[in-house]
Amino acid sequence: MQPITNLLITASCKAVKFLKRDFLELEMLQRYNKGNYDFCNKSYIKTQDLLRNELQKYTSSLFFPEDKFELDNASEMVLLINPLDSLSNLEKSIPFFAVSITCLKKINKILTTVCTVINFPALDEIYYVEKGKGVWVGNNTTNNSGRLRVSACSSFDNFLISTDDFNINPVFLKNARVFGSYCYGVLLLAAGKIDAVYFSSLNYTLKASFDLIVRESGGIIINNDKTFVATNYELSEKFKHLLLEKTSLSS
């Protein structure tokens, strides 16, 4: 494991300690109330502050979802940070929410994604991926870890897709799943538990990390422009055909 990956894991673990406490507090309420949003928004801000304080020791180039970021940034190292991928899940005490940190470094004068750490405090799971070394999952209390690989599913008869867009081809919709967390969806793809993702509104702090996660788990990215679409190699050609078919029908 690279030293920077260790640093990101340590920083994420420090930041999520109180997020788990907040989740348990919301879960004990057993019902939603109007104050939950304000409570969770404070959790977001506190997580952001903790991560900023911890990570600025290593670089001043920290970017959060609300910041403007360009790939031609002059910095030698950049950290893209999503303090809380899915505030709405936390708000409803649903455990699918995560802290995501991605490191980009200058390689041949181009900022390149080298590693990502994604920490799910309520699930006690931590995922990390390094360029050329695969995607791994462990937990916050032991050193055990396992490598993830995409599925070998080759038929739409038994395939599953995670999406946030219900205007996609109906073939996909009959087996669609919505988790409310982009990170959770893409890591289920990496683990072979679902077979594709179709996201229409990813923020830039997640796109670079998802690209690395899919490639390092053996998947293929079909689109990473306005939408983020990825699957395994067995389904990729069929998937492209159905996407083009839907596009031509809607144009």
Point out the annotated binding site: 84-85
Sign of the CA dihedral with 104 first, then 78, 15, and 58 last: positive
Q: What proportions of the chain, in percent to the nearest 5, are helix, strand and coil?
A: 40, 25, 35
Q: List the end-to-end C-alpha distance of the chain, in Å, as a whole number.
A: 47
**Beta bridge pairs of residue 224:** 228
CA distance 218 to 224: 16
Residue list, annotated binding site for Mg(2+) = 84-85
Contact 220, 189 (CB under 8 A): no
The tokens describing 101, both together, are: 């940190």
Q: In terms of Cα–Cα distance, which of 124, 105, 106, 108 is closest to 116? A: 105
Contact 87, 40 (CB under 8 A): yes
CA distance 12 to 119: 7
- Phi and psi at 230, nearest 5°, equal -145, 155
Give the DSSP per-residue string, 85-122.
ETHHHHHTT-S--EEEEEEEEEETTEEEEEEEEEEETT
